[in-house]
Amino acid sequence: MFEPLTQRLERLQEDERGVSPVVGFVLIFALIMLVFTIYQADVVPAQNKEVEFEHSQVVEADMGQLNDAIQEASTSGLPQSATVATGLQYPSRALAINPGNPSGALETSGTQQVEISGLSGSSGYWSSSSRDPFETRLVSYQSNYNQMQQETEYTVENGLLVKDYSPEDATSDDFALGSDGTMISENGEQINLVLVGGEYQESSITSSVTATPVSTSTEYHQLESNSGMIRVPTSLSEDVWQNEIVDGAAGIQSVTVSEGVATLNLKDQEYELRLTKVSLRTSTEPSATYLKSESPFDPSETIDTTVGESETFTVSVRDKFGNLYTSDDVMISADKNGAAGNLSSNSQSPNDEGRATFTYKPADTDAGTVEIELSINGGGEDYESVTYELNVSDGSDGNGDGTAPAFSPGDLTNGYQLGVIVKSASADEVVFENIGSKDVTATAVRVSGDFRRQGNSGGSPPETVSFAGKNIELNGNLTSLGSDEYPITAGDSTSVSFDPNTQKSVKGGFLIITVQYEYTQDGETETTAATYAVAIGQ
């Protein structure tokens, strides 16, 4: 018989089979979803934040290497490369979802100016009012992290790596220096400016950058400050400049920062300046800008010479940064301004070192004043030419007192004419006069020649002579003076003791004295030698 419908429904209501498994499944699924939600909301961001922090440390090291590459290229003359991890990739996850991978930007700023004023050197270029400001760019990296709230911007400027922790809406600066930098020496008297050219922008996972030399040098220029001033672009505050960059640098009188420009006010003293440039993209090569006299070092000093005695002039071609210009696309013209003597050439290109040498031999009719002018680019600007003034004598002058006349310095081994002459000489002393502009120190000497003695001329010549208290073999080799070295200050005279070491009184003689000198040139110790023909009076 069929069961009534009402009874069947009542029986189903009383049947509880299968209820517990369903409820358990629902609860387990809800728990899994809760754990996944917590993992996605808390664990994944925390892990990603750690990845972002580690990436920021890598970027700091990479930016430091980029700064080093720029500095190295500016002095070595060779391209230097660096790689910056501009972006990052989060670790892959089986179930959880990562946000989009951050991609930071490595880029140069717009063109900014570097101004140098109130400095002057022997060429006249640095003090010229017609010289244009120089151009440079800052190089910065800006991250775009998803989790890190305090993002750091790294900037390479003026040889410094700057870390800026300040958020965009910050009311105060929060900077740190990632490197000590090479712009200003500890005493503030040596300044190294490295300019950056080329427009660069990259935001891929990694960015490869090559710093290509534009104008490079290891040489510093000796410049005199007269209310000197240097202005450079900066992202730093005045407080950072005063307390961290120029703090303790006695050569810097003061520093101010206004509208992204740092102004260094210099004292009225001598400074050493090096100015170089590299490019992060293709850049136009600088052109030949000015001439610098290498020998004689100071072209403003009159050169005393004699008819028939050749004088040599060496100049170097410089670009607008003051560095050697070695291309042969420029000609150096020479003009003797109507003089009758022989000029070695009327024009020539600089050699591989950017230098050229001319020789002039005065003729009999040149007695008096002769001007030799060397120039480039037509000599339109004062700094595009160098003029040497020669005071030419006919060779008949003499002092008639038995002492040696003032002789020219003679042959200098490295081409620099220091201006140290023999003022007078006797059997007791030799007086050297420094008519040049540099202090020198005599470090070695060689003496050759013979003496005339009182009475009979018989007897052997002395084997040694005493020079500055040092016994030196006559007609021997160059001998170090050791502890008997003597300085000759620019503009002063120095008397050096001399003794022929012979038992008979010396009536006279003729000597060839070669003296080796040391002096400071562009911050480095240089060595040269001068040979003097000396007549010894009683």
Structure-block tokens of residue 122 = 């022997």
CA torsion 452-454-458-462 (nearest 10°) is: -60
Q: Answer whether residue 509 shows pLDDT above 80.
A: no
Tell which wins on pLDDT, 150 or 330: 330
Q: Answer whether residue 174 shows pLDDT above 70.
A: no
pLDDT higher at 181 or 138: 138
Closest to 452 in 3D by CA, of 536, 330, 512: 536
Give, for 429, the enclosing helix (H) or strand (E). strand 429-434
Tell me which of 157 and 16 has the higher pLDDT. Answer: 157
- Any idea which fold 285-397 has? Immunoglobulin-like (2.60.40)
Exposed/middle/buried for residue 235 (C-beta within 10 Å: 0-12, 13-18, 19+): buried
Classify burial at 70, counting beta carbons within 10 Å of its beta carbon; exposed 0-12, middle 13-18, buried 19 or more.
buried
Evaluate if residue 257 carries a pLDDT over 60.
yes
Say whether pLDDT at 11 is over 70: no
Give the mean model confidence (pLDDT) for residues 196-203.
92
Q: How far is CA 186 from the centre of its chain?
A: 15
Please tell me the distance from the alpha carbon of residue 485 to that of residue 468, in angstroms, as a whole number: 8
pLDDT of residue 408: 39
User: Percent of the chain scored above 70 by pLDDT?
Assistant: 82
Give me the count of residues in the chain: 538
pLDDT value of residue 538: 46
pLDDT band at 262 (very low <50, low <70, confident <90, very high): very high
- Pick the more confident residue, 269 or 431: 269
Task: With a cut of 50, say whether residue 357 has pLDDT above it.
Answer: yes
Whether 430 contacts 534, CB under 8 Å: yes
Burial of 35 (0-12, 13-18, 19+ CB in 10 A): exposed
**Is the pLDDT assigned to residue 303 strictly greater than 60?**
yes
Tell me the pLDDT band of 138, cut-offs 50, 70 and 90.
Answer: very high
Average the pLDDT over 54-80 and give the result. 92
Find the mean pLDDT for residues 485-511: 75
Task: Write the DSSP assignment of 283-307 as a string of letters.
Answer: -PPPPP-EEEEEESS-TTSPEEEET
Q: Where in the chain is the domain with CATH 2.60.40.3450?
A: 285-397
Cβ–Cβ < 8 Å for 418, 530: yes
Q: What confidence score (pLDDT) does residue 313 get?
A: 94
pLDDT tens digits along 177-193: 766 667 999 899 999 99
Single out the residue of 493, 474, 484, 361 nearest to residue 423, CA to CA: 493
Question: Quick check: 167 pLDDT over 60?
Answer: no
pLDDT at 298 over 90: no
Question: Would you say residue 415 has pLDDT above 60?
Answer: no
Q: Is pLDDT above 90 for 449?
A: no
Q: What is the pLDDT at residue 291?
A: 94
User: Is the distance from CB of 519 to CB of 470 less than 8 angstroms?
Assistant: no
In this structure, the number of other CB atoms found within 10 A of the CB of residue 227 comes to 12
User: What pLDDT is attached to residue 17?
Assistant: 57
Looking at residue 169, its pLDDT comes to: 47
Dump pLDDT digits (tens) for 90-113.
888 777 788 888 888 999 999 999
CATH number, span 402-538: 2.60.40
Asked if residue 330 has pLDDT above 90, the reply is yes
Over 60: is that where the pLDDT of 12 sits? Answer: no
- 359: β partners: 312
Q: What is the pLDDT of residue 401?
A: 41
pLDDT of residue 172: 46
Tokens of 104: 């930071």
Name the band, by pLDDT with cuts 50, 70 and 90, for residue 405.
Answer: very low
SS3 369: strand
What single string gives the DSSP state of each residue in 415-426?
S----EEEEEEB
Q: Within 13 A of 41's CA, how many CA atoms are on the CB side?
A: 6
User: Does 48 have pLDDT greater than 70?
Assistant: yes
Helix and strand numbers, DSSP H then E, in the chain: 4, 34
Query: Which residue type sits at 276?
Result: T
